[in-house]
Amino acid sequence: MAAFKPVYLIHGDDHGRIGERRAALRALAERESGSGGVECLEGDAATPVAVAAALSAMTFAIGRRFIVVDGVERWKDADVKAHLAPALDAIAPDTTIAFFAREEGRFKVAAALVAAVERAGGSVAAERTLKARELPRWLQAEAAKLGVELHRDGAQALVALVGERQQRLLREVEKLALELGPGARIGTDEVEQAAAHSSERQVWGLVDALVAGEGAAATRAFLELEAQGESVARLVGLLARRVRDVLAIATRLEAGESAAQIKQGLKMSPWAADRRIAEARRSDVDRLSRALETLADLELATHGGSELSDGTEAIRAIARIAA
């Protein structure tokens, strides 16, 4: 049987991670609880008074008793001290209670609850959402725990490809560690080849080729994606967004701004920013402006049309943009 502490408090603003931990703890508790099951208190039933009453109530269940309490981020210090803290001090040895606080804005876990959990010999864990600039270093640390070395450029590439959701990034690092094996050294090439789903890589390959003016490569990537069932409207939206980003950078470069100045204002990873700036330097404002106009016309054409006609229009648009 797993060893459980009497009390757990999981709090923070990373609501996805908190949800994962709640689900994992509940599944484990259901396996270990015998006939007792898991008691859940949430909404109006999740108050310090109600939890204290639940802890003091007698139960005839066999095995360890588990109580899961949601929404404790709204509790007040005074209520915790007056009603719940004494009950936690006297918690039964065969009982485990887990508190979950999804913090946001002014809703923060009460300091009195943290103190009461620690005094009862419990565990307090904070799940915080990292800022974008903190994600590469965090990913490197997580990769090291899995026995692989993730280079800084590989970590930046992973954030650019996958996004900033920590749970998804962690899953991708875990997949890389499994695929490449212990001791693997992971850089940009390994990330681009293995981390993203094949269709997602092809989408970005299409975008890269189009912005670079590589008509044949862009057409080939588009046809492959269309054959896989990708929506023409979705592809057009991705293309327009990338062209819009690169056009804005190209305009700033033409106005005399340095790459360092531009990077400071870009809301993307340093790795992605370097790529966008390089793309802007290889293109020019006039060509990108025409490309954006063509994509806007194509976006209008995709509304209400058949996929067949949309695909034909998209191939013609790709040819015009890359010309």
pLDDT in tens, 131-182: 888 889 999 999 998 899 999 998 988 887 777 778 778 888 888 888 788 8
Q: Which amino acid is it at 212?
A: A
pLDDT of residue 60: 61
Task: Identify the architecture of domain 7-126 in CATH.
Answer: 3-Layer(aba) Sandwich (3.40)
Quote the pTM value. 0.51
Domain ranges of the chain: 7-126, 132-194, 198-322
CATH class of this structure's domain 132-194: mainly alpha
CATH class of this structure's domain 198-322: mainly alpha
Q: How confident is the model at residue 59 (pLDDT cuts 50, 70, 90)?
A: low
Q: What is the mean pLDDT of the chain?
A: 82
pLDDT of residue 201: 56
